[in-house]
Structure 1
């Protein structure tokens, strides 16, 4: 399904789980709505499925593709900014008549969620920040790839960010992507041609990512925020999660660090991660 969030701009979205659930006494119980912000940029919402489906018995899940991603309308490159993507969360909620959502951002989606906290602090009921960074932090990333994959991984990562291009990205996928997770059985395949937009990703890495600093805006948070990540994550190193937690108001933040886990903790620690998410969503 697609919904128009402003004239000429439609976002693709999908829904899993009921928002209103019938009770034994005949009344309807309202469940919280969780809006899932996918990673990337240049990807789509499919990376969430079916991993998040177990949460559909405690919340209504809204998957969507960011503006210019996946099945959503593609806009000009001038719209490929954190500010625009963050504001789109509010516009989507207005279009779907969602009030007080729980906003759940993974990786790049977590960067969007951080900017959303800064620009719209009174909008969410809760925010979840998973495996994300508040800034580029290249040296941390290179050191983390070196720890996980040695000099070859460090060099592949350095070469890609020095000159984002299809050729350097191919090497990055081949050498670095398998290091994102700590368990061989974790589903960590290369992006499919149907979902992946290399032009958008290269533009982000060249033009906006090097200048991002989300830490100051986190002080504006006005709702509970769960921050969690894997200690062995090379792409959003665990030090980044610690910085995010420290920048949030202390009385609102919950921080959880998972040992022996990588990028997207539920891939390596699915039982523990899902239990934590269910508890935070329903609390």
Structure 2
């Protein structure tokens, strides 16, 4: 499905019922937005990892502008600020009240900024393997230098220099870097997932290339505006958004919950899928999100 919002068109998809029968009444379930990472990726990598959440809420997946199946446009507008405004415009376009906002990696950055700028729009916030400022980049470079193979070090250097300028190069990047992203890396499974997705080098380089917006990215001054109960998930062995950045967010958000998966890297949904879903549903239970309808159990 497509939504014409602001100056662009976003592709979105919906999983799960929003209105379900329970006894002699119909019960409206919460709506969760699943916010993909990158930049330069799409929502397809979330399927089917997040499907279990559809047992308790209606899920909305969408692709950021210039990425996936959403419309392309001026790459100068492939920024976090634009993605935040697009997300809020999509929520309003769909006629939704406060949402459960679930962002992974770059999607977590978008989710954080959205929850800070539109606190009334978010009932619950889940941040998965993310960072609140661009300091994760030099730290990631240190980790690759210490832990990466020569091929991985060359690929990371291409990322920082903005040289991943074709879809083929970006696919090569993920092929080489895969074992750093996941402790349970399966080359064949990862290839199938990538082949289903659409990669967008222009969006990636608008963030990571020299002069990109990621150089000045810093949400820390805004985090105090977040009012939603917040869960922060991290992978102990994450190379690109190391757990110290999740710990920092936790310190800056009093009352937030932090869970670090000891046997996971960046791709928690690959390394610890059941534990990830369990952590999210447990958090929603503790903080008053509607439980699944009994008839759907």
Aligned to 2:176: 175
Whole-angstrom distance in 2 between the partners of 1:194 and 1:103: 22
Q: Indicate conservation of the 8 Å contact 1:180/1:234, yes or no.
A: yes
Q: CA deviation at 1:56?
A: 0.6
Q: Aligned ranges for residues 1-283 of structure 1 at < 5 Å?
A: 1-6=1-6, 8-24=7-23, 26-137=24-135, 138-150=137-149, 152-166=151-165, 169=170, 172-185=173-186, 187-189=189-191, 191-192=194-195, 195-206=198-209, 207-248=212-253, 250-251=254-255, 253-283=256-286
Q: Which moved more, 1:158-167 or 1:206-215?
A: 158-167
Deviation by residue 1:20-61 (Cα, 9 ceiling, x = unmatched): 11012x201111110010111111110110111111111100
Q: Compared with structure 1, are the counterparts of its residues 59 and 15 closer, same or farther at alpha carbon in structure 2 (3 Å cutoff)?
A: same
Runs of 4+ in 1 over 6 A off after TM superposition: none
Q: CA deviation at 1:273?
A: 1.1
Whole-angstrom distance in 2 between the partners of 1:53 and 1:193: 17
Q: CA deviation at 1:174?
A: 4.0
Q: Compared with structure 1, are the counterparts of its residues 230 and 75 closer, same or farther at alpha carbon in structure 2 (3 Å cutoff)?
A: same
Q: Indicate conservation of the 8 Å contact 1:117/1:217, yes or no.
A: no
Q: CA deviation at 1:146?
A: 3.8
Specify every segment of 5 or more residues in structure 1 that has no aligned partner in the other structure, as ranges.
Answer: none
Of structures 1 and 2, the one with the larger relative CO (CA 8 A, separation 6+) is 2
Whole-angstrom distance in 2 between the partners of 1:93 and 1:213: 24
SS of structure 2 residue aligned to 1:277: helix
Q: Compared with structure 1, are the counterparts of its residues 204 and 143 closer, same or farther at alpha carbon in structure 2 (3 Å cutoff)?
A: same
Specify every segment of 5 or more residues in structure 2 that has no aligned partner in the other structure, as ranges.
Answer: 287-297
TM-score by length of 1: 0.90
Q: Which moved more, 1:267-276 or 1:157-166?
A: 157-166
Deviation by residue 1:129-171 (Cα, 9 ceiling, x = unmatched): 1011222222310232245435553453134303433487566
Q: How many residues align?
A: 279
Q: CA deviation at 1:172?
A: 3.6
Whole-angstrom distance in 2 between the partners of 1:193 and 1:269: 22
Q: Compared with structure 1, are the counterparts of its residues 105 and 146 closer, same or farther at alpha carbon in structure 2 (3 Å cutoff)?
A: same
Q: Compared with structure 1, are the counterparts of its residues 194 and 181 closer, same or farther at alpha carbon in structure 2 (3 Å cutoff)?
A: closer
Deviation by residue 1:210-230 (Cα, 9 ceiling, x = unmatched): 111112211111110111110
| RMSD over aligned Cα atoms | 2.1
